[in-house]
């Protein structure tokens, strides 16, 4: 069952995986997952150099999702972080999503 779920998720685009994982995290109020994903976004390193730890700045699920939008921008893509982020999204959906 998990292999079939993994295969179905792996066929999705990274952006669709992100949407599904973020929707699930919002429903679960899972700030820790969102902060972890933010820390692996392409622009997180630059942000942390200027403003400090993301974990200390982000205090709500909605803030985390808004910050993702700010980091990723329209059409900026995932860069070299895409394989890691895809794996994180798929893992989260497999562990916490509906069977």
Task: Kindly list the domain boundaries of the chain, sorted by start residue.
Answer: 2-96
H or E stretch covering 25: helix 14-28
Q: What is the pLDDT of residue 40?
A: 78
| In the predicted structure, residue 77 carries a pLDDT above the cut 80 | no
Please count the helices (runs of H) and the strands (runs of E) in the chain.
Answer: 7, 0
**Which helix (H) or strand (E) element contains residue 91?**
helix 82-96
In 3-state terms, the chain is what percent helix, strand and coil (to 5)?
75, 0, 25
pLDDT 10s digits, 11-53 = 999 999 999 999 999 999 998 898 888 877 766 655 554 344 5
Residue 22's pLDDT is: 95
User: Residues 96, 24: contact at Cβ < 8 Å?
Assistant: yes
- What average pLDDT is seen over the chain? 81
In the predicted structure, residue 1 carries a pLDDT above the cut 60: no
Q: Is-above-0.85 flag for pTM?
A: no
């Amino acid at each position: 069952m998990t292999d079939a779920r993994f295969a179905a998720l792996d066929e999705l685009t990274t952006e669709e995986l992100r949407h599904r994982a973020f929707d699930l995290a919002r429903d679960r109020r899972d700030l820790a997952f969102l902060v972890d994903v933010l820390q692996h976004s392409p622009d997180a390193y630059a942000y942390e150099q200027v403003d400090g730890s993301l974990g200390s700045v982000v205090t709500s699920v909605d803030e985390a999702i808004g910050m993702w939008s700010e980091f990723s921008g329209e059409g900026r893509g995932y860069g070299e972080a895409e394989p890691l982020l895809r794996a994180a999204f798929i893992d989260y959906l497999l562990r916490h999503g509906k069977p």
